[in-house]
Amino acid sequence: MRVLYVEDAVDQALLVKAFFSAIGGFTVTHAQDGDTALKLIASKPWDILVTDLNLPGADGFALIKAFRVKFRRSPILVTTGYTQAEYEEQALRAGADQVMIKPLHQDEFTARVRAMAEAGQKPEEDEPAVVLAIEGRLGDAEMGCGGTLMAEVAKGHTVVLVPICRTEEDVTPEELKGAAIAAKILGVQLRIDRTLFGDAAGQKDLIERTLNELRPTMAFMPARDDRDLSRRDAARITEGATAEIGTVLAYETATTGLEFVPSRFHDIRAEMVLKMEALAAYQAVGAPRVDLRPRMAQAYARYWGRFRDFTEVEAFEQVRGEGA
């Protein structure tokens, strides 16, 4: 297996290379600084990354993020002299799989590397893709991209919906009940942490933790041009936190402004009935939000349908990815 090992201390590098030699089956390329490692990550295929955090040039956190984007399933082991818990937490949040504190011991190092190598060699098809949808008000994702999310579920992908709202007062008990029912209809996982409503730093941390846990390949967010503060905040936080995700799409809400210019249109004729049923769940439990009426969803779908053979579609701005 091809190992990229990044360590600026020569004695430490010799020790770890000896560990790998004792295991067998690994080809180790050693880089002494972060800038060289970034070039190697971009130019060659790798099976494992082992890196220090404190490096000349780009630091270990930058390497972890860059490696994770290009090699989504390949394991990352951090070896560091930092003993403070916040460094380990930050490394794991950036995308590392495990952290070992120096000085390193051969038996423990060998055991961890072997286990990580075996995990990294599992077939890709064993792990379904993950799609993340963020919303600034409950029901936004159901309205803006519910059909597309159902299509992803039908492909066998895991879809996780995370609402982050400006204040807790913006969310009623009826809306929470409706959101739970709608999620079941769509077949998505709903993750709500009400204690973080209105806490921008906490919401950003929640998204980063969710990204590190799930490692999604695609994310959906409210359009950046939105008159509603909660939705605009959700878009800003999401765009910043998902910088390493290859595809990020922005969907329309009832308060999206005129700057919303979609370039992707997803046919949702097959999902339209269930999408309207999911939205109807809000009215059924006593949350009569005008912006979540099923007929409004149908009107949006037919309006944007003029860009795709006059069918029913969901429209998206390409925030990141091909065509962005």
Q: What is the CATH number of the domain that holds 254?
A: 3.40.50.10320
d(CA 216, CA 43): 23
Quote the distance between the C-alpha of residue 168 and its chain's center: 24
Q: What is the CATH number of the domain that holds 22?
A: 3.40.50.2300
Cα-based distances in Å from 149 to 143, 215, 301: 11, 17, 15
The answer to whether residues 166 and 284 belong to one domain is yes
The answer to whether residues 174 and 242 belong to one domain is yes
Give the model's pLDDT for residue 244: 79
The answer to whether residues 172 and 316 belong to one domain is yes
The answer to whether residues 37 and 151 belong to one domain is no
Q: List the one residue out of 220, 313, 309, 317 whose CA is nearest residue 271.
A: 313
The answer to whether residues 110 and 133 belong to one domain is no
Give the model's pLDDT for residue 169: 81
Q: Determine contact, residues 103/279, Cβ cutoff 8 Å.
A: no
HEC string of 77-96?
A: EEEECCCCHHHHHHHHHHCC
Q: List the one residue out of 200, 119, 210, 215 whose CA is nearest residue 162.
A: 210
The answer to whether residues 148 and 285 belong to one domain is yes
Query: Which amino acid is residue 58, in one-letter code?
Result: A
Give the model's pLDDT for residue 121: 64
Q: Determine contact, residues 152/251, Cβ cutoff 8 Å.
A: no
Q: Phi first, then psi: what are they for 146, rounded to 5°?
A: -60, -40
Q: List the one residue out of 197, 195, 188, 174 whose CA is nearest residue 220.
A: 188
The answer to whether residues 234 and 307 belong to one domain is yes
The answer to whether residues 173 and 109 belong to one domain is no
The answer to whether residues 301 and 189 belong to one domain is yes
| Token representation of residue 50 | 């082992």
Mean pLDDT by 10 residues, the chain (324 residues): 95 94 92 96 93 96 88 90 89 89 94 85 62 96 97 93 88 94 96 87 88 89 94 93 90 94 94 95 91 94 91 94 63
| Domain boundary residue, one of 96, 124, 152 | 124
Q: How many domains does the chain have?
A: 2
Say whether 315 sits in a helix, a strand or coil.
strand
The answer to whether residues 141 and 100 belong to one domain is no
Domain that holds residue 65: 2-124
